[in-house]
Amino acid sequence: MKQAAVTGTATGMDAGSGAHAGGMSDIDWKRCAIAVVGGDRREQEIARLAAATGATVRAFGFPWPDAGIEGVTRAASAAEALAGARFALFPIPGIAPTGALFAPASPEPIIPERDMLAAMAQPAHIILGWADPKLQAHCDALGITLHEYEWDQDLMLLRGPAIIEGLLKVVIENTSITIHKANVAVVGQGSIGFLLARYMVALGAVTHVAARNPVQRAAAYAAGAQVHLLEDLPALAPGLDMVFSTVPSRVVGRDVLERLPKHALVADLAAPPGGVDFEAAKELGLKAVWARGLGSRAPVTVGASQWSGVRPRIEKILRADA
């Protein structure tokens, strides 16, 4: 299977103009067809910015504004959007176990089947958060290159503040105590865990960080957090008011959950399969939230940050083919 990670995020570029980090664009965008399929209001901004380049943009599966989107054609189906497209932009949030793309506003599940993908213009590319084995198999059979950026550090940091703001909303709506002086644990110190721990410290929470990496633990300590090994979580649990997992593997299991106070809030920010045993949390009567899609809190900001990473990837491909 052809597969690549998105790199070279142009954090300082004007995402809607003809300029990029290296100067004026030398790409003939008018010859480029892009399909934006699935997603939420973030994809509205991505589609708008893609069309602003002069590319042909067709979209389906995200909330459509009453005034439309300048330069973007609303397709009648995902298949219509993909037909003849050289590039397909799918959402960051993971694909459901059914194979459906993240598309909460769509009346029906959007499942990118092989026949649908076969209608793309070759050589075709799909840029998305991450692909499941079924989509990977389709792309392998059709010679479509996948570009996954769920774990791209630049893009995660760019949309990180919106994710943290969205999480704060979840916390406020699901607790009866303040974050200030609360005992909170941040599990994992990747891009989002790193930001979250620093926000918690800044908001006055008694912040605990559990992570495998000793360098990450040292950085968290330097930022004002109390640091622990992952295996310390069960012993730490009885004194916690909130637990935030950012690790996409089961790290907050029953051994941790059964020791938490009944008022504790558990929030999972990780990509599927997630880091929290939600079945155990439900059995134990704990409030547990899988806080996915938090970037939708600021769709214009986050959509622009995603496009600032996607655009240079498309330009690199088009230059290589020139």
Indicate whether 147 and 181 sit together in one domain.
Answer: no
Following DSSP, what letter does each residue of 17-51 receive, concatenated? Answer: SSEETTEE----GGG-EEEEES--HHHHHHHHHHH
Length of the chain: 322
Q: What is the pTM of this model?
A: 0.74
Which one-letter DSSP state was computed for residue 179?
S
Which residues, including other chains, have CB under 8 Å from residue 19's CB and lie 6 or more apart? 13, 25
Centre a 10 Å sphere on the Cβ of residue 322 and count the other Cβ atoms it contains.
8
Peptide bond into 91 cis (omega under 30): no
Query: Which neighbouring-strand residues pair with 187?
Result: 210, 245
Q: What whole-number distance in Å separates Cα of residue 34 and Cα of residue 83?
A: 10
Q: Which two tokens stand for residue 2?
A: 């052809």
| Residue linked to tokens 């050589």 | 123
pLDDT of residue 322: 67
Indicate whether 197 and 280 sit together in one domain.
Answer: yes
> Beta strands 87-89 and 287-290: pairing type?
unpaired
Indicate whether 32 and 117 sit together in one domain.
Answer: yes
pLDDT of residue 227: 98
> At 236, which CATH number?
3.40.50.720
Q: Which two tokens stand for residue 137?
A: 């198999």
Which residues, including other chains, have CB under 8 Å from residue 320's CB and lie 6 or more apart? none
Indicate whether 204 and 276 sit together in one domain.
Answer: yes
Q: Give the residue ranges of the chain where pLDDT is below 50.
A: 1, 5-24
CA torsion, ordered 27, 31, 32, 33, to nearest 10 deg = 170
Indicate whether 172 and 107 sit together in one domain.
Answer: no
Where does residue 224 fall: left (phi above 0), alpha (psi -120 to 50 degrees), or beta otherwise? left
Q: What whole-number distance in Å separates Cα of residue 117 and Cα of residue 197?
A: 41
Indicate whether 233 and 175 sit together in one domain.
Answer: yes
pLDDT of residue 9: 41
pLDDT of residue 162: 86
pLDDT digits (tens, 9 = 90+) for 94-111: 688 899 999 988 989 999
Indicate whether 176 and 99 sit together in one domain.
Answer: no
The H or E element containing residue 281 is helix 278-283
Indicate whether 161 and 43 sit together in one domain.
Answer: no
Following DSSP, what letter does each residue of 196-259 receive, concatenated? Answer: HHHHHHHTT-EEEEE-S-HHHHHHHHHTT-EEE-GGGHHHHGGG-SEEEE--SSS-B-HHHHTT
pLDDT of residue 14: 43
Are the C-beta atoms of 25 and 18 separated by less than 8 Å? yes
Indicate whether 238 and 303 sit together in one domain.
Answer: no
Indicate whether 7 and 136 sit together in one domain.
Answer: yes
pLDDT digits (tens, 9 = 90+) for 193-247: 999 999 999 999 999 999 999 999 999 999 999 999 999 999 999 999 999 999 9
pLDDT of residue 157: 81
- Its domain, for residue 218, covers 155-296
pLDDT of residue 19: 42
Indicate whether 309 and 279 sit together in one domain.
Answer: no
Indicate whether 291 and 212 sit together in one domain.
Answer: yes
**Total domains present in the chain:** 2
> Beta strands 56-60 and 33-37: pairing type?
parallel
What type of residue sits at position 237? A
Q: What whole-number distance in Å separates Cα of residue 59 and Cα of residue 243?
A: 38
The H or E element containing residue 158 is helix 153-174
